[in-house]
Amino acid sequence: MLWIELVRLTWLEIWQSRSYRIMLVLALLAPALGIVLGSLFMVDIGKVYVDAIAASSQVLAMVYFIFLVVTMMSRDIFDRICYMLLTPPVTRMDYYIGRFVGFQMGFVALLLLLLLSSAIVGLLYIGEKPAFYQSGFSPWLLAWMVFFHFVQYISILGVIFFIVSWSSGNVETMLFSIAVLLFAWVFPPVLKAMQNPDVASDTPGGVVLLLQWVYEVLPHLQGAEISLSLAHGVAISLADTLLYVAEHVLYALVCFILGLLIFQRRDL
Amino acid sequence: MLATKQILVWFGFVASVLLLSWVRMEPIAQYQTQKGIWASSYSPVMDKAIAGPIPGLMADFRLLDVFAIYYDMKYAYKPIDGQHMAVYLNRAQNLDPYFFDVYRLAGSLLAYDARMPEASIALLQQGITYREDVWEFPFFAGFIAHDLLEDDFLAFQLMRQVVGREGIPLIVLTLASRFLEKSSSKEDAIAFLEGLKQLMPSDYQAGIQKRIDDLRGVLEH
């Protein structure tokens, strides 16, 4: 169980980093954005507030994974910090699992702080308005939304661990991680557009097939669509929640195991 | 020991890939709002792609653009401003088709300040599909058709869609029947009144039934 020690170490490293503490402060301040935006609108104030929190959560998640996780993993491997950790009896598997769970813990702490601050401010700010302006706002919906964001980014962490296992430097890791995120957003609308008869008749069948294959390889990031539904007070069914969780956990597992297999054979 | 661990890792990998493929065959389609992408020529696909993980906030920003256009228009009306307002409302609708404010502004600012009743009705008609819980959109659309387009048959066709929705005030139904009397289609009139009758408590059905009987009498002769 040496990986548990590595989880603790990873958490301490994250906690000590100044950028993480700034992110925590931003998570505390995020509800202010919701209030400012909400005050600019006439009726759907609850919805606008939840939109602002959803956007803050997504932006914080991206900053956390791209600038903190990728940088720390790159530093570990390319600056050879992991030499200090990878000495017997610690195996590479312990190291990989410990780091993965540790980074997830850091992310959970960030999201919990965001949830806490936004739920308290939401209750005080939205809760006092008449029901007509609330558009179905409740702290439970916020918690539900944060949960969906958390699950979605398990896949992204898996992808990052896969990329780190074979990439040859810091810039390469960052480039590929950002590319995966960008492609995951851009592909669904583009593929949908290709189903339009006018576009489909002008596009060679091979190109469509190729794009569909690429899309199948990418993580399916549906958290944004789901938070949109939640912002309108529309609950998500249990079956869909289970499918969503299963998809992201399995995707992360596939990427993680593949990354681990490559990392175990890597010449450090 | 190491070999067993490796076998387990490989087994886990293959099992996860198979399970993931199976899970992905069940799309979480209910919450995807992509069907709106081609709903309007004003709504390019790139809007969705650029909005990426924050479509809700981007839709809010598009509405702030609409407010800015409205204030420009208030001081010096230019027809191009009306077209801009329609574009931005359609963009917001494309990003968040459930957004109530989009349809509210389409039924008020776009119709009466921007003077674009056709664009307003087109947007409200999309709202009728997305917000099945709301009776206001068919009502707004129908009223605009009557008031600005002076097309009572279209007004009736739009307003009849409120039948079956919850919390409809009686005035909506009265207005719809009035437009209906002016329009020429008696079969539609009977169908609408039958639907209306179902909504009313039994004590209040006599008048509607009499009107249905009258219309049936006109059709038979």
Q: Tokens at residue B86, please?
A: 């329609």
* Chain B residue whose CA is closest to A253: B16
- Provide the H-helix boundaries in chain B: 2-24, 45-51, 55-75, 79-95, 100-105, 117-130, 136-147, 152-159, 170-182, 186-199, 206-220
Cβ–Cβ contact B57 with A under 8 A: yes
Pick from A59, A224, A258: CB nearest B55: A224
What Cα–Cα distance (Å) separates residue B111 from each residue in B43, B81, B83, B93, B148? 19, 13, 11, 16, 8
Query: By residue range, what is the domain housing residue A152?
Result: 2-264
- What is the spatial distance between Cα A241 and Cα A243, in angstroms, rounded to a whole number? 5
Instruction: Give the closest-approach CA distance of B27 to chain A in angstroms.
Output: 8
pLDDT of residue B199: 59
Helix or strand or coil: residue A132? helix
Using the structure block, give the residue that is written with the tokens 């408590």: B201
* Chain A residue whose CA is closest to B63: A41
How sure is the predictor about B40, in pLDDT bands with cuts at 50, 70 and 90?
Answer: very low
Those residues whose C-beta lies under 8 Å from the C-beta of residue B68, and which sit 6 or more positions away, are: none
**Interchain contact, B31 vs A240, CB within 8 Å:** yes
- CATH hierarchy code of domain B55-220: 1.25.40.10
Q: Nearest 5°: CA angle at A120, between A115 and A121? A: 100
Pick from B46, B64, B96: CB nearest A228: B96
Residue A16: burial class (beta carbons within 10 Å; 0-12, 13-18, 19+): exposed
Longest pairwise C-alpha distance within chain B: 94
- Assess contact for A145 and A53: CB atoms under 8 A: yes
Instruction: Give the closest-approach CA distance of A242 to chain B in angstroms.
Output: 10
* Chain B residue whose CA is closest to A43: B101
Instruction: Give the closest-approach CA distance of A266 to chain B in angstroms.
Output: 15
Pick from A48, A185, A254: CB nearest B17: A254
How sure is the predictor about A118, in pLDDT bands with cuts at 50, 70 and 90?
Answer: very high
**Interchain contact, B56 vs A51, CB within 8 Å:** yes
- What is the spatial distance between Cα A66 and Cα B9, in angstroms, rounded to a whole number? 27
- What is the spatial distance between Cα A182 and Cα A55, in angstroms, rounded to a whole number? 16
Task: Encode pLDDT of A135-187 as tens digits.
Answer: 777 888 889 889 999 999 999 999 999 999 998 888 888 999 999 988 888 88
pLDDT of residue B208: 65
Pick from B23, B46, B54: CB nearest A58: B54
The total domain count for chain A is: 1
- The ranges assigned to domains in chain B are 55-220
Q: Rounded mean pLDDT of A126-130?
A: 80
Q: What values do phi and psi take at A235, rounded to 5?
A: -80, 155
- What is the spatial distance between Cα A110 and Cα B61, in angstroms, rounded to a whole number? 26
Longest pairwise C-alpha distance within chain A: 63
Task: Encode pLDDT of A63-85 as tens digits.
Answer: 999 999 999 998 888 888 878 88
If we measure between CA atoms, which residue out of B143, B64, B150 comes closest to residue B105? Answer: B64
Pick from A48, A51, A243: CB nearest B28: A243
Strands (E) in A129-252, as ranges, are: none
The H or E element containing residue A88 is: none
How sure is the predictor about B180, in pLDDT bands with cuts at 50, 70 and 90?
Answer: low
Q: Tokens at residue A159, please?
A: 């992808």
- What is the spatial distance between Cα A145 and Cα A137, in angstroms, rounded to a whole number? 12
If we measure between CA atoms, which residue out of B142, B137, B146 comes closest to residue B159? Answer: B142
pLDDT of residue B36: 39
If we measure between CA atoms, which residue out of A158, A152, A54, A40 comes closest to residue A97? Answer: A158
Chain B residues 190-219 within an 8 A CB cutoff of chain A: none
**Interchain contact, B26 vs A243, CB within 8 Å:** yes
Report whether pLDDT(B160) > 80. Answer: no
- Assess contact for A9 and A96: CB atoms under 8 A: no
**Interchain contact, B48 vs A189, CB within 8 Å:** yes
Report whether pLDDT(A267) > 80. Answer: no
B44 or B68, which is more confident?
B68
